[in-house]
Structure 1
Amino acid sequence: MRFEGVHTPLVTPFLPDGEINHALLASHAADLAAKVDGLGIGGTTGEYYALSFEERVRTFNTVTEAAGGKTWLTAGINATTTDEVIRLGQAAKAAGVSALLVAAPYYAQPTQEELLQHLLKVDDALDLPIMLYNFPARTGTAIGDEILETLLQRPNFQAMKESTGDIGHLHHLSTHFKDSLVLSCGMDDQALEFFAWGCRSWVCGASNFLPEAHVALLDACVKQGDFQLGRQLMAQLLPVLELLERSGKFIQYVRYGCELAGKAVGVARAPLGTLSQAERDAFAAIVSPMIQHG
């Protein structure tokens, strides 16, 4: 199952004038393709909501040209309407991606039946492997059990990135759907708990700048079953992951982490701002030694 392993949701590099730096996006994707199990294009980390339709489509093409055939590529196609999700999916499929990442349409807050029909229409139109994205804090709508049970009867619905942050819900998913769903960690500071409950996939924003550390942690827990080593590796990563997940500045910290790793990807698009100097200094003190030691 290609949804397993470490998957990096790519940051979208911006030039000083705010335009996308496609040359850097291509080189960043090609570099990471050799280090992780898959790449995500157009996810939250890539600020898809701040990009125009045309910009999103061009990023699909940039990454598939740079890394296509070298790793598993998942395109985030979330939007507010079913029609636009399908249009984005058609463009992603034409670009040559391997799979799709699909969440509930944000802000619209469909009912569970409406969400089910939305997802079925997306599958009917696109016919590619799908990772669902359960992030109700962002979308306003959870992907419930009845939806999952129906979707998993179709072969394209294979995985779900779980980002509720609710450990109890992790327990529920990992026991009730353990034989039918590839569960992916979508709450980075809970990665060890996900792995302990059988999760074999991790979609992790900080792997944009610390790919080796993320791969080492997943390998220790998932491939070697060595949770003593896993706890040691998680303890090293935890200050970074907690800051990203709990600070309210996830994207800003990922961008600065890339800068510390030698890839100046620019600042986020407004309304997001930048880190203060104190925040930058504190983050650099944690991250720089980890980058230097690979």
Structure 2
Amino acid sequence: MSKKISGVLTAIVTTFDKNGYFSPSAMRLQVQRQLGYGNGIFCGGTNGEFFVLNEKEKLALIETCTDEVAGKAAVVGHIGEISTRETIRLGKQAAGLGVDAVSVITPYFVPLKQEELAWHYRAIADALPVPIFLYNIPARTGNTLQPETVRQLASHPNIIGIKDSAGSYESLSGFLNAVKDLEGFSVLNGPDSLIHQGFVDGCSACISGLANVAPKEINAIWSRFHAGDVEGSRAAQEQVTGLRTDLYNVAFSPAAVKKAVSLMGYDVGESRYPIRFSAADEEKILQIINKYTK
């Protein structure tokens, strides 16, 4: 990859039509919406419902995003599967679709030792022609990458960073401290509550699920910080943190984000997994949207 990924990448929702099938046309509209606010694209992640997409859909999603972005911003595609073999197989196909890098979640369901996680990532990095980001989200996988393991993996020329979605400042700062003297290795912040602090402490980019709902407000945290307006960045973060707290009190984050985008008038479809919203839930979400976004 020729340049370091920086700024905001939206953990973009995957669009479905009224019958629940992937909708490329609706996807392109969401990509353009994000590009309009200066945000890059992280597709097929948690907010993209990768866990309910089949392989054909995952590849169609990546291809649609890279084609629509057309080099105007960074595109990272998530390819993490439960096995090393399947991750490599999917990654080789994704690599030919124009992504700048791929992201690989830790294997899930089966508890693994740190040396086993390290073997998994090295095998993937050895096999793929595209750079990879480690992806730490222990609440969803049951496996946690430790900072020392990440530091060891950072020596691999094809492992260029880590996305940390553990959800705590302790976790994020642990990775930042572990690799602070390693040039070219990026730490990407996952939790929307820590975007500003992540930039202050040295994150090169954030991967934001809430940017689906508030692309302008999320980008303001980065753009103000990048311009030297640290206080303005902090103020933007406070607004986003309020949005995050209120919205996620209604429902699990990917579903709440997608429902919010839908209620804003965008045809993104329903989440596939069995979560349902009452009329009262939808009214709460509308009130939250109106309170925090313009």
Relative to the length of structure 1, the TM-score reads 0.91
Q: Deviations over 1:167-192 (max 9, x none)?
A: 22333222232232322111112223
Query: Which of 240, 243, 252 is the equivalent residue of 1:240?
Result: 243
1:15-42 CA deviation, whole Å, 9 max, x = no partner? 1211111210122113323423420121
Aligned mate of 2:119, from 117, 120, 123: 117
Q: Please show how residues 59-208 of structure 1 align to structure 2 within 5 Å.
A: 59-180=61-182, 181-208=185-212
3-state secondary structure, aligned to 2:99: coil
Of all paired residues, the percent bearing the same amino acid is 29
Residue type of the alignment partner of 2:261: C
Distance in 2 (CA, whole Å) between partners of 1:142 and 1:244 is 26
Corresponding letter in the other structure for 1:185: N
Q: Which moved more, 1:51-60 or 1:61-70?
A: 61-70
- Contact persistence 1:2–1:72 (CA under 8 A): no
**Uncovered stretches (5+) of structure 1, i.e. residues with no partner:** none
Tell me how far 1:164 sits from its aligned partner: 1.4
Q: What is the one-letter code of the residue matched to 2:116?
A: E
* Structure 2 counterpart SS, 1:263: coil
Counterpart of 1:209, as a letter, is: V
Residues 81 and 105 in structure 1, CA contact (< 8 A), matched pair in contact too:
yes
| In 2: Cα distance, 1:234 partner to 1:149 partner | 29
Matched, 1:39 2:45: no
Partners of 1:69 and 1:171 in 2: how far apart?
A: 31
Alpha-carbon separation, structure 1, partners of 2:203 and 2:248: 19
Q: 1:210-240 CA distances to partner (integer Å, 9 max, x unpaired)?
A: 111111111223x134332223212222221
Q: Secondary structure at the match of 1:161?
A: strand
**Residue 126 of structure 2 contacts residue 158 of structure 2 at CA under 8 Å; is this kept in 1?**
no
8 Å CA contact retained: 2:47, 2:209: yes
Give the CA RMSD over aligned residues.
1.9
User: Is contact 2:163–2:187 with CA below 8 Å preserved after alignment?
Assistant: yes
**AA aligned opposite 1:132:** L
Distance verdict in 2 for CA 1:290–1:269, change over 3 Å: same
Rounded Cα–Cα distance in structure 2 between residues aligned with 1:244 and 1:118: 35
Conservation of the 8 A alpha-carbon contact between 2:147 and 2:174: no
- Work out the CA distance in 1 between the residues paired with 2:150 and 2:215: 31
Secondary structure in 2 matching 1:119: helix
Question: Residue type matched to 2:89 in 1?
Answer: R
Q: How big is the shift at 1:246?
A: 5.5
Give the counterpart of 1:209 among 210, 213, 220.
213
Cα distance in 1 for residues equivalent to 2:201 and 2:209: 21
- Quick one: which amino acid aligns to residue 237 of structure 1? V
- Greater shift in the superposed pair: 78-87 or 66-75: 66-75
What is the CA distance between 1:116 and its match in structure 2? 0.9
Unaligned runs of 5+ in 2: none
The aligned residue for residue 252 of structure 1 is 255
**Cα distance change, pair 127–144 in 1 and its aligned pair in 2 (3 A):** farther
- The answer on whether the counterparts of 1:7 and 1:36 sit within 8 Å (CA) in structure 2 is no
